[in-house]
A = this chain, B = another copy of it.
Amino acid sequence: MGPTTPIGAGEGGSATTTSDTAQLVDNEEASTSSQGNLGKTVHFEDEIENDDLEGSHGIRRRQPVQKFEPGSLNILSAKYESLDYDTCENHLLLDEERKRGYPFVVWKGIARWFIFLLIGVITALIAFIIDICIEEFSNIKYSELKKSVDKYVIEDKLYIPYLLWVLSNIGIVFIGAVLVAYVEPVAAGSGIPQVKCYLNGVKVPRVVRFKTLLVKTVGVITAVVGGLAGGKEGPMIHSGAVVAAGISQGKSTTFNKDFKIFQYFREDHEKRDFVSGGAAAGVSAAFGAPIGGVLFSLEEGTSFWNQALTWRTFFGTVVSTFTLNVALSAYHGHPGDLSFPGLLNLGKMEPFPFQFYELPVFMLFGAAGGLLGALWNHMNYRLAVFRIRYITSPWLRVVEACLVAAASASAGFLMMFLLNDCRPLGEDPTKVPLQLYCADGEYNALAAVWFQTPEASVRSLIHDPMGSYKPTSILVFVLCYFVLSTWTFGLCVSSGLFIPNLLTGAAWGRLGAIAIQLMMPNTPINPAKYALVGAAAQLGGVVRMTISLTVIIIETTGQISNALPIIITVVVAKWVGDFFNEGIYDIHIQLAAVPLLPWEPPPLTHNIYASQVMSHPVFTLRTVENVAHILEVLRMVSYNGFPVVDPPLTDDSEVTTYKRLRGLILRSQLIVLLQNKIFNENANSAWSNTKVDMDMFRTEYPRYPTIEEMQLSEWDKTCTIDLRPFMSPSPYTLPHRASLPRLFRLFRALGLRHLPIVNDVNEVVGMVTRKDIARYRVWRHRGHMGMEELLFSGEV
């Protein structure tokens, strides 16, 4: 994400072109309505002049100077296109329905289940490949480093293994960073914010392409093997989403290949459903959590709960975790054993019995997690702003990634060098026990934590018996890893934040257990309990998910009886964290100025009317329209939807004002019509000769040619197009006196992209798009709340 993602053609929330054409519905005309309270739409230009006007009803308006400040959370970008979940019920669709009938409905149903099966299997296989690569490469890396340390510690030339470590880290991370910076910037980070935007209805460019998946896969391997404080779980969710988008569409833009299958799923609505299932399959594979996966895609993504879709998603997540389980079990030499349900394995937890009076302790842990999470988010936000301002070129980003790689290695080395935390060997299993300065038969406890993948370290910190680490070691580790992990997230590499936060949380949770042990020396304290609760609290404080996170942790540890402590902790962490700032994903989404629609309309906005929200004047097309005019309009404005209008029933003196709404046509449909020359008068490509059906539109989906690519002869331009068979004949509309909450609910519940606003006699007076609504946002800060109107950044 980040403002570095390229600019798509926007719906033009604030078109500045105002040339009057005959079909242009003027604002003043609309006042024929009896209500007649059509306020002026607050345009971008107006804003600058009226900046010191406090909006009515306490609407907070940002000072316009802030809007050019990079890193502001109060700007919406006009560059993002929206997805359209509304079906265009034109004549072609009716024809197709009539021809294909019920067998086709049944067939589509079966195809959907089949695609979910494929999504599950392929997502699991990608997870398998990532896991194996990370494990094998890490093994090689750390055993080589160990050999080097063992060799040079005697010669007192520890700088040699140190340099070796730093250089290997830099080298590995360099590959991933270059790929992300130069090949596919959208593959950076965990991908969860992007998937969240997609499911909300915002098209983040190239987010579900195959190229992104490739870069992500290689990127996440290099990031984890390169020793960064990042995890492979978030990227799995993104990978699942890409897999789902790819399979369900039966084509790949990266390979320029159209398999001509599943063409009937080529629409935003169907694609969104599959992507939501793919993300769930990704969670399922990452954490071995089929139920958590379903809940994740519900909690973070969809707004409309569809039972059939949920059952299919559930099927996909089960297939995903099962396939990964089979594959990993076979790889580890226990085929049929099925004990590797996910990438992250926190190890089998014993059920920890807890007492009534321990609940306040869990709440305290939750509060600490909320505080630390809020701090983590704030630091990461500051860093992100810094990056937007100063780390602007790809090579600088690569350099930063390498710097962090070096810092990670240095931190680890310094820690194990300076804190000589020696433990007797054989007490717990570590793959690469490092003696360093310890006595024979002992190993360096911190080296054990650093010389393995973060997943393995989480396991160690949770399961190692009491007294495996010195308290000071853990404290230094927490501080260090806290800073490293927040520095790493948002870096130009593919990695997630689940594992680093679980690791930090497990570490301070264990610290808490030690503190409790000191206070109650005679009670045996189980450090695993507090380490797990700490991990849940820290992660909950950062991501602010409640239900899905709880279920994921329960499924990962395989212990449902620990549910209550984890639930309490996560809920308290969310409450405390929300007091200070938003979840990290939302912060990054706001930084990228994505017009995300929240769950509910902002409160107390019943006095904001559609007439204030809508964009106008509106560019309309007649039911039978000149090709030349269509071309002109498409070139002039960047709108993506155009109302199709008729002359009014009562012919006034102005015969030229066509305003009566008859339908809605999309830019993409117009472009396909122009491209295929479906003109009325053109004998060469008359209706009878060209096969005009839905597939004509589906072939181009989702990337249509631009209007500039159209090659039309002068003769073509004299033709007309009858738009009626192609337009959506009965779009949802609202009257100009409808309130913002009413607009909002319609948009949110039905996933609309365009909404024509009409007056009392059904004449179009404006258009509302997602951005016009997303501008009104509620702010909540330390118990106070209000409403603010965001600004558009225009084309950055």
CB distance from A11 to the nearest CB of B (A): 22
Indicate whether A547 reaches chain B with its CB closer than 8 angstroms: yes
Q: A607 to B98, Cβ gap below 8 A?
A: yes
Chain A 725-759, CB-CB to B under 8 Å as 1, else 0, gives 00001101111011101100110011000000010
Indicate whether A302 reaches chain B with its CB closer than 8 angstroms: yes
Q: Which residues of B contact A761 (CB under 8 A)?
A: 649, 660, 761-762
Q: B741 to A730, Cβ gap below 8 A?
A: no
Q: CA–CA, A299 to B306, complex, Å? A: 9
Q: Which residues of B contact A298 (CB under 8 A)?
A: 298, 305
CB distance from A376 to the nearest CB of B (A): 21
Q: How large is the interface on A (under 10, 10 to 19, 20 to 34, 35 or more residues)?
A: 35 or more
CB distance from A606 to the nearest CB of B (A): 5
CB distance from A526 to the nearest CB of B (A): 16
Which residue of chain B is the closest to A745 with respect to CB atoms?
B750
Chain A 274-308, CB-CB to B under 8 Å as 1, else 0, gives 00000000000000001100100011001111111
CB distance from A342 to the nearest CB of B (A): 12
Which of B547, B567, B734 is A310 in contact with, Cβ under 8 Å? B547
Which of B87, B547, B599, B758 is A291 in contact with, Cβ under 8 Å? B547
Q: Which residues of B contact A732 (CB under 8 A)?
A: 732, 734, 742, 746
Q: Which residues of B contact A354 (CB under 8 A)?
A: 338
Q: A308 to B603, Cβ gap below 8 A?
A: no
Indicate whether A642 reaches chain B with its CB closer than 8 angstroms: no
Q: Which residues of B contact A662 (CB under 8 A)?
A: 760
Which of B291, B341, B729, B742 is A550 in contact with, Cβ under 8 Å? B291
CB distance from A788 to the nearest CB of B (A): 12
Indicate whether A431 reaches chain B with its CB closer than 8 angstroms: no
Q: B308 to A599, Cβ gap below 8 A?
A: yes
Q: Which residues of B contact A772 (CB under 8 A)?
A: none
CB distance from A130 to the nearest CB of B (A): 22
Q: CA–CA, A506 to B101, complex, Å? A: 43
Q: Which residues of B contact A739 (CB under 8 A)?
A: 89, 730
CB distance from A756 to the nearest CB of B (A): 12
Indicate whether A58 reaches chain B with its CB closer than 8 angstroms: yes
Chain A 293-331, CB-CB to B under 8 Å as 1, else 0, gives 010001100111111101100110010011000100000
CB distance from A216 to the nearest CB of B (A): 27
CB distance from A255 to the nearest CB of B (A): 33
Q: Which residues of B contact A571 (CB under 8 A)?
A: 311, 314-315, 318
Indicate whether A795 reaches chain B with its CB closer than 8 angstroms: no
Q: A568 to B318, Cβ gap below 8 A?
A: yes
Chain A 762-796, CB-CB to B under 8 Å as 1, else 0, gives 10000000000000000000011110000000000
- Further pairs besides A322-B564, A758-B762: 14, Cβ < 8 Å: A94-B606, A102-B604, A294-B547, A304-B305, A310-B547, A311-B546, A311-B571, A314-B546, A318-B568, A318-B571, A336-B355, A338-B564, A351-B558, A730-B738
29 A-B pairs within 8 Å (CB atoms) are namely: A32-B649, A34-B646, A58-B102, A89-B606, A94-B607, A98-B607, A101-B604, A102-B603, A106-B783, A290-B567, A291-B563, A294-B547, A298-B305, A302-B305, A303-B305, A310-B547, A318-B564, A322-B564, A336-B356, A555-B560, A555-B563, A558-B561, A560-B560, A646-B760, A732-B732, A745-B750, A749-B750, A758-B762, A762-B762
**Chain A residues proximal to chain B, CB less than 8 Å:** 32, 34, 57-58, 87, 89, 93-94, 97-98, 101-102, 105-106, 290-291, 294, 298-299, 302-308, 310-311, 314-315, 318, 321-322, 326, 335-338, 341, 351, 353-357, 546-547, 550-551, 554-555, 558-561, 563-564, 567-568, 571, 574, 599-600, 603-604, 606-607, 610, 646, 649-650, 660, 662, 729-730, 732-735, 737-739, 741-742, 745-746, 749-750, 758, 760-762, 783-786
